[in-house]
Homo-oligomer: A and B are copies of this chain.
């Protein structure tokens, strides 16, 4: 009997390719015995990382080509029809898989997913949504980079879609939705944000109005809506700052033997800090608005991080996030 849900894993993807993707999928297969994992990639590369005897819920699909990080999205789409990325998405399209995970080229994945899976009826633009650690737990944010500029109507649809994702992934059916702006007064921000504010206010959402950059980390909002330019800059800014703080901490704690002793004494607290804010725990952004579950892992993901992306794919496949979005979406005039 085939497993109920199948997850296609683009096993050639990311900085580490099959050396990370394959063991992560094998771990997931062990943990989720009711889920099938389909490893997609070059035969020789997959074999190198697979045990002689495949687990019962793991299968392979061979694909000759690989989308490189430097490939232009259009070229990946047109010329790499036998890539592991394309084949993974084809599996979702044909219904043989219920979700796809890739750590590959974001632009190529979005373009190919958009082309292969198509958008859900009524959706104007797909978006990328991800979770960000906040003081209260986590905040979902979208769009993280699929759309450099957005109309107010698109932002309003992102609000609807984001609320579905946050609801399905956290169980909170009334997630607080906020619109990112540069001031809390209604007078600020540009026209498109003002217009989106009106549109979202009229939707059946738990809309808390405008929020600012610092609110992402507060316990004030569960879903932050913005255009893909601002969202991507904010996300990369967080990553850069977190890295700089971690680097400075490391420098200061290794500056002298006394400092190193101090680090030893402080190790439990520092470890707890690292665990709570570990970006690997939040790995996996969802490309939503499409006819299928597509999870984009960070390119640099390690075993632990890529496994989290697979788990996210399993959760969204189980919840049927795309059909839940299709139910909720409405054309916003």
Residues of chain A touching chain B, judged by Cβ–Cβ distance below 8 Å, are: 72, 107, 133-135, 145, 148-149, 180, 182-183, 185, 187-191, 193, 212-218, 226, 228-230, 232-245, 247-249, 252-253, 255, 258-259, 261-270, 272-273, 276-277
Contact = CB atoms under 8 A, between A and B. Distances in A.
A185 B261 CA distance: 45
A244 B189 contact: no
Quickly give the copy total for this chain. Answer: 2
A105 B228 CA distance: 29
A324 B244 CA distance: 33
Given A265-B262, A265-B266, A213 B230 contact: no
Given A216-B237, A247-B135, A149 B190 contact: yes
B255 A269 contact: yes
Contacts of A183: 107, 145
Q: Is the interface of A mostly helix, strand, loop or mixed?
A: helix
A205 to B, nearest CB: 21
Contacts of A217: 240-241, 243-244
A228 B214 CA distance: 16
B226 A233 contact: yes
Contacts of A249: 269, 273
Given A215-B240, A245-B277, A229 B266 contact: no
A38 B237 CA distance: 38
Nearest to A134: B244
Given A148-B188, A234-B237, 12 more contacts: A135-B247, A190-B229, A212-B233, A212-B236, A213-B232, A213-B235, A214-B243, A216-B240, A242-B245, A258-B268, A262-B265, A263-B269
Among A149, A216, A217: residue with most chain B CB under 10 A: A217
Given A237-B216, A240-B215, A245-B277, A262 B253 contact: no
Given A218-B240, A261-B265, A248 B234 contact: no
A229 B270 CA distance: 35
Contacts of A255: 269, 272
Contact of A190 (B148, B193, B245, B277): B148
A214 B217 CA distance: 18
A119 to B, nearest CB: 21
Nearest to A273: B252
Among A107, A213, A215, A273: residue with most chain B CB under 10 A: A213
- 3 closest Cβ contacts across the A-B interface? A213-B236, A214-B240, A266-B266
A65 to B, nearest CB: 21
Contacts of A238: 213, 237-238, 241
Contacts of A232: 182, 212-213
Contacts of A145: 182-183
Contacts of A229: 182, 189-190, 193, 230
10 contacts: A135-B244, A135-B247, A213-B234, A213-B235, A226-B233, A237-B238, A252-B272, A255-B272, A261-B265, A262-B267
